[in-house]
Amino acid sequence: MLSSSAYPEHPEEAVPGEPVVGTPGEAEPATRPSKTGEGVSDTESVDWLGLPEPVRERVATLAAAALGKLPSDDVPRQLRPVARFAPAKRAKLGGTALLTALRDSPRFRTAVLEWLREHRVDALNPNDDDSVAAAAAAVLLGESSASSRVRLVAKNTEESALRAERDAAVARVRKLEAEVGRLRAELEEARVEVERARNEREEELARLRGRLRKQGVVVRQAEDTAAEAVAARQRIEAERDAEIEAMAARLERERQKALAERARAERAKAEAEAARQAAREARDADEVRLSMLLDTLSGAVDGLRRELSIGTGSRRPADTVRGANPGRHGGRVSEPAGLDSLLALPNVHLIVDGYNVTKTGYPELSLVEQRQRLVRELGALASRTGAEITVVFDGADVTSIPAAGARNVRVLFSDPGVLADDVIRSLVLAEPQGRPLVVATSDQAVVNSVCAAGSYAIPAAVLLARLGRV
């Protein structure tokens, strides 16, 4: 094999570090080196990439075999990745790159020819009996007959393809003729079967007509008998319907009588229940009024005794000193400790402005959830302190009121057109003088009016802080 130093450097390696894609503009040499060093002139250029597939595969296979054995200096840079392929895959995966390098790189083509002359001299016989091998050898050697041999292979390949297509078409025609013959045989069999079935059907139809004539007499007799049976059944049903209607009339009269008796009994029971309920309600109302009256009287008496110092044995000389007083009742309380002291008083009444407190403490809840939470927490406070607790809500938007609230908590809703603030003022005014009253609200108008009436007012935040410790 020729040394790599005998050939000029690859033109594609002139700029190191850049990828080499070949030099499509590189001209083919006028002569190609042969084993004797003589060149053979081209009379017609060969399209390396347009070679017939058999010639293309043959040239790529020979170039791939030589590629793995050539020095790296003889291998164009674009073929070095292909050289790392397995020998069996070089021609298949790198065929186009190999043919491009053979076309564009005289050095690589010369190296391949040298390798083939040393190791595969049989592959360079342009007079080989195999037209594909001869055409590939002629292309590699640059023979003047290369183009004609390539055209011959292309023509043979095309003729082979046409013969294969013709043979396939002939085979399809023969297959279709056989299928037509089979279908004709099946059609004849089907025609015979249809004719046989038609004859059998006509015979069966004749037998059925005979049986039908015989059955006609039997059917007419059966119809006469059925008509007599229907008439008898209708007569029996008419008699039975009359009896049923008479019995139903008697049962209806008895049912109406029983319903009337039951209605009278239910009315009497309802009247008795209403009377008992009215009696219970009246008794409960009397007991409540009597209890409130006694509490009011007791509070009033105690208040009068404290204010007038009448009828008490606890009066002391210090109680008669002028210029001093025990302090006025009512006012604002802003500390939780003050609220605890007020709730510890006997007979204390805590009145809560419902929505004013809930919208301060948990406005993110719905109104129903706000009411339920506040009433539940007030119930726990009432159980701890024993105080009477009344909570008042605006009732304009309330569509359903709970049947029962928390234990020891009175839940009131203002009537339509009435504000909860006015209900709270009315509750304060309805209590007797001297009874401790505490109103939980941050509404300053309500605070001013209840303080003027002698009640204590605490902000909503103070009550919420106390409820948080229950």
Domains assigned to the chain: 4-144 (no CATH), 329-467 (3.40.50)
pTM: 0.35
- Dump pLDDT digits (tens) for 239-256: 888 889 898 998 899 889
- Counting every residue written for the chain, the total comes to 470
Q: Say what the pLDDT of residue 43 is.
A: 36
Q: What are phi and psi of 457, to 5 degrees?
A: -120, 130
If you ran DSSP here, which 8-state letter would residue 121 be given? G
Work out the mean pLDDT of the chain and round it to a whole number: 79
Predicted local distance difference test score (pLDDT) of residue 29: 37
The rounded distance, in Å, linking the Cα atoms of 45 and 140 is 12
pLDDT at position 450 is: 93
CA 234 and chain centroid, separation: 66
What tokens appear for 86 in the block?
């397995």
- pLDDT, tens digit, for every residue of 109-165? 888 888 888 888 777 877 777 888 887 887 888 887 777 778 878 878 777 778 788
- Supply the pLDDT for residue 153: 80
Q: In sequence order, what are the beta bridge partners of 440?
A: 352, 458
Cα–chain center distance at 298: 69
The two tokens of residue 63 are 């170039």
Give the residue ranges of the chain where pLDDT is below 50: 1-43, 312-313, 403
With contact defined as beta carbons under 8 Å apart, do 455 and 330 qualify?
yes
What angle is formed at CA 186 by the lines to CA 182 and CA 192, rounded to 5 degrees?
A: 150
Looking at residue 31, what is its pLDDT? 34
Q: Look at residue 28 and give its three-state secondary structure.
A: coil
Helix or strand holding residue 331 (H, E)? strand 331-332
DSSP sequence for 277-327: HHHHHHHHHHHHHHHHHHHHHHHHHHHHHHHH--S-S---GGGG-TT--S-
